[in-house]
Chains A and B, each alone.
Chain A
């Protein structure tokens, strides 16, 4: 889904210890790559005694994937402290997020999600995000680029989260409690209730988030 330059597995030191970041590729390829990195000559010395955390990026690990991961790491004598989706901390003020995204927006392909996002599920991506399905109340999408939802958008979306005010949010039905684009936040007026209005798109005009019919 991303460019080839995107590593399947990235190992780097952080203040808290060693962070293993998993890329977005095929799960089996990722496991194989992780295995390869763990069996490198100096790996044992590198990982020994370190506090290891795993960042799972855009994926949700299923129970069996989690077990596979833990078995693989356990086989190399590594006990995992934290297995978490990328940056699990609570939402912060829009601009403060920017440093999480290190790559330029234009270089990154969109992340395609072919299912409904349910309450409590969170997607963070350094490009645009396209959802074929609904985004339910309580779900979150934070994207550096645009967010398009081919379904009903009822959750929280932050487009242009790196500070890009030109980002847009489109949905076949746009009824979120709040919209965030770049550094702007708009709360839904209470009157925006059940009426269906067809596809709509939100963007920033004159420093304010506006919603208009989506005509292509």
Chain B
């Protein structure tokens, strides 16, 4: 049976596409699915670093498309998780090195051997985005609870619709429950109300993401972290399981919150 192609995109940069791709890949692979992650951000290669595979790159996506390497040679197998493989982007070229037809052909080859092909889309609405979306069976939109990111997500949803893809689903990233409670951040309902698409996951703000990205060890490996668990739940929903959406606590340690309170006992929302 042919695998499913999932494209992770957002419009705006820096909202967590690459982190999501890496962690969803890990979470699905941990459940025994064969997963290929493709970095489609040609010229701004990142996925290799987040997955901790940067020192093993020999060939990249442009080498495959231009016939210098076979796709088997370019794929890098994750030693921690043999079900997971990655196709890196080229760092020395730009988005125009690949066109949507070439992406379709490349992904078609992978679909036979993998259960899931996850494509990390570049930011923007131009050539790179079209490359990433062309082969998609499902599109997941990543956004943060900020107006600028939500507006860009809205634009992208419109473009995904006109590309005649199934209705995309939403991952709300970097949510800070404390700020939402104080009314300082858009709540999940606010974002869904604007974008009018279904939610597939909420990732709380978690400092572990930064350390894990720097170390090349995605949080989805750590079952204890809030963000890691959230990615696990997204993987379950991708597989069609019905998993309730978690209620998150702020990850600020209790002590720090007490200290803040002692310094400024009256100004509730001053932080």
Contacts and interface: CB of A to CB of B under 8 A. Distances in A.
A119 B157 CA distance: 9
Contact of B155 (A60, A61, A118): A118
Interface string B135-167: 000000000000100111011011101111000
Contacts of B163: 62-63
B164 A119 contact: no
Sort A-B residue pairs by CB-CB distance and give the 3 closest, nearest first.
A118-B158, A119-B155, A119-B154
Nearest to B196: A116
Interface stretch (A68-76, A124-132, A134-142, A164-172): A134-142
A60 B154 contact: no
Contact of A138 (B155, B161, B164, B196): B155
Given A118-B155, A137-B154, A138-B155, 20 more contacts: A61-B162, A62-B163, A63-B162, A118-B154, A118-B157, A118-B158, A119-B152, A119-B154, A119-B155, A120-B125, A120-B155, A121-B158, A134-B194, A134-B196, A136-B151, A136-B154, A137-B147, A137-B150, A137-B194, A154-B194
B162 A60 contact: yes
Contact of B158 (A61, A64, A120): A120
Nearest to B11: A119
22 contacts: A62-B162, A63-B163, A63-B164, A64-B164, A118-B154, A118-B155, A118-B158, A118-B161, A119-B151, A119-B154, A120-B125, A120-B158, A121-B158, A134-B194, A136-B151, A136-B154, A136-B194, A137-B150, A137-B151, A138-B151, A138-B154, A154-B194
A136 B155 CA distance: 9
Contacts of A137: 147, 150-151, 154, 194
Contacts, number: 40
Contacts of B158: 118-121
Contacts of B164: 62-64
B28 to A, nearest CB: 28
B264 to A, nearest CB: 25
Contacts of A134: 194, 196
Binding site of B, secondary structure by majority: helix, strand, loop or mixed?
helix
Contacts of A138: 151, 154-155
A62 B159 CA distance: 9
A116 to B, nearest CB: 6
Contacts of B152: 119
Interface string A52-63: 000000001111
Interface size class of B (residues with CB under 8 A): 10 to 19
Nearest to A134: B196
Interface of B: 125, 147, 150-152, 154-155, 157-159, 161-164, 194, 196
A189 B194 CA distance: 21
Contacts of B159: 120
A70 to B, nearest CB: 15
A61 B161 CA distance: 11
Contacts of B154: 118-120, 136-138
A61 to B, nearest CB: 8
Contacts of A154: 194
Nearest to A61: B162
A124 B129 CA distance: 27
A48 B88 CA distance: 46
Contacts of A61: 162
Contacts of A136: 151, 154, 194
Nearest to A136: B154
Contacts of B151: 119, 136-138
Q: Identify which of B125, B147, B162 gathers the most chain A CB atoms within 10 Å of its CB.
A: B162
A143 to B, nearest CB: 20
A118 B152 CA distance: 10
Contacts of A119: 151-152, 154-155, 158
Q: Identify which of A116, A119, A136 gathers the most chain B CB atoms within 10 Å of its CB.
A: A119
Interface string A88-126: 000000000000000000000000000010111100000
B192 to A, nearest CB: 12
A61 B150 CA distance: 24
A136 B164 CA distance: 20
Contacts of A63: 162-164
A134 B196 CA distance: 10
